[in-house]
Amino acid sequence: MNKKTSIGNDIKIAKENLEKGNLVAIPTETVYGLAANAFDIHAVAKIFEAKNRPTFDPLIVHTDTIDKIKNWTIDFPIWAEELGKHFWAGALTLLLPRKSIIPDLVTSGLPHVAVRIPNHKLTLELLQHLDFPLAAPSANPFGYISPTTANHVFEQLEGKVSYILDGGSCKIGVESTIVGEENGKLTVFRKGGIAIEELEKVVGKLIVKEHSNSNPNQKKVASSGMLLSHYAPKIKMRLGNIEEILNEYQSNQELESNEIGILSFYEKYNQVPVQNQFVLSKKQDYSEAAQNLFSYMRELDKLNIKIILAELLPEKELGRAINDRLRRAAY
């Protein structure tokens, strides 16, 4: 898979490539996705190859209407109707029982398919012109930081994707929230771009399932994005109280100040050069923090440093999803 990769905003070119079985990176409000015809197992196989993604990790299927989703799912329960009505198009993925038209490769052989209607004008227009849905995980090498711009995709997957549909920077910046049923109870399988508090206003109390084991011998996970080690920079990340960790390093003389990078919620620290520090949101805004998270992790990963220090946000609203990504980046 060694093709020339081009970037543009031409839906016709994107459509032609997808119809030929090629890979196309698509913008969404969450992150950029690496898309292929979900009905074509040969095209879907290219996603796993390009990302070096294990086939036990299922994919999310994207389309533009609930009616289309109902064509390839066995059941569309009342809770799905309610959540779809309130949050689609948007950063919500639902796990629903699938019909056989959805290939096993897409779902890792599981009986449910993850479905979503993304809230991005360019991608919705593309989906309207396709006769098939798109299987699309994040457009990055498996386990690495998710892309939130077309250039992020190009930097990582040049030559592995035919076309990158450039829709600008992603507005939300973390992946979708995944909801399904387990043992008869509505369950959040992945924290994401829609806060759990907002979902509970519509369907009541939800069970929150923490991520799965990252054992490479594990055969299946319940949904996309459930592995413990994920969204990780190449440079080691340490989570905790930044001030305390800096004092520890200073006392032990373990690291020079210019060897440390910082990813903080809203503060800067005098002990570390300002160019090595990235603040997610000076005004402590969770949406702004989520939008900046992956982009700032990438910038830190480019620095000549030995460690990234990061702190958790308050465990509420989008802070939950941000903390989930930070924990897995540091795992």
pLDDT digits (tens, 9 = 90+) for 36-61: 999 999 999 999 999 999 988 899 99
Does residue 252 surpass a pLDDT of 90? no
Determine whether the annotation assigns residue 123 to a binding site.
no
- Mean pLDDT check: name the lowest of 141-155, 204-218, 277-291: 204-218
- Mean pLDDT check: name the lowest of 213-222, 262-271, 294-303: 213-222
Does residue 222 surpass a pLDDT of 80? no
- pLDDT tier at 224, thresholds 50, 70, 90: low
Q: What is the pLDDT of residue 94?
A: 98
Does residue 3 surpass a pLDDT of 90? no
- Distant-in-sequence, close-in-space partners of 324: CB < 8 Å, separation ≥ 6: 190, 191, 211
Q: Mean pLDDT, to the nearest integer, of 55-71?
A: 96
Determine whether the annotation assigns residue 190 to a binding site.
yes
Determine whether the annotation assigns residue 108 to a binding site.
no
Q: What is the pLDDT of residue 78?
A: 97
Determine whether the annotation assigns residue 238 to a binding site.
no
- Report, in this order, helix, strand and coil percent for the chain, each rounded to 5: 35, 20, 45
Determine whether the annotation assigns residue 138 to a binding site.
yes
pLDDT digits (tens, 9 = 90+) for 149-203: 999 999 999 999 999 999 999 999 999 999 999 999 999 999 999 999 999 999 9
Per-position b or e across 57-84, b if 16+ CB within 10 A of its CB: bbbbbbbbebebbeebbeebeebbeebb
Q: What is the pLDDT of residue 1?
A: 47
Q: Mean pLDDT, to the nearest integer, of 8-28?
A: 98
- pLDDT tier at 226, thresholds 50, 70, 90: low
Question: Cβ–Cβ contacts within 10 Å for residue 232, how many?
Answer: 18
Determine whether the annotation assigns residue 136 to a binding site.
yes
Determine whether the annotation assigns residue 100 to a binding site.
no
Q: What is the pLDDT of residue 217?
A: 38
Q: Are 323 and 313 a contacting pair, CB within 8 Å?
A: yes
- pLDDT tier at 225, thresholds 50, 70, 90: low
Q: Amino acid identity of 120?
A: H
What residue ranges define each of the domains in the chain, with the CATH number in brackets? 6-208 (3.90.870.10), 237-330 (3.40.50.11030)
Q: What is the pLDDT of residue 229?
A: 65
* Average pLDDT value for the chain: 93
Higher confidence at residue 80 or residue 255?
80
Q: Mean pLDDT, to the nearest integer, of 229-235?
A: 85
Determine whether the annotation assigns residue 231 to a binding site.
yes
Does residue 93 surpass a pLDDT of 80? yes
Q: Are 36 and 86 a contacting pair, CB within 8 Å?
A: no
Instruction: Give one DSSP letter per residue of 262-294, joined into a string.
Output: EEESS---TTS-GGGEEES-TT--HHHHHHHHH
Determine whether the annotation assigns residue 289 to a binding site.
no
Determine whether the annotation assigns residue 55 to a binding site.
no
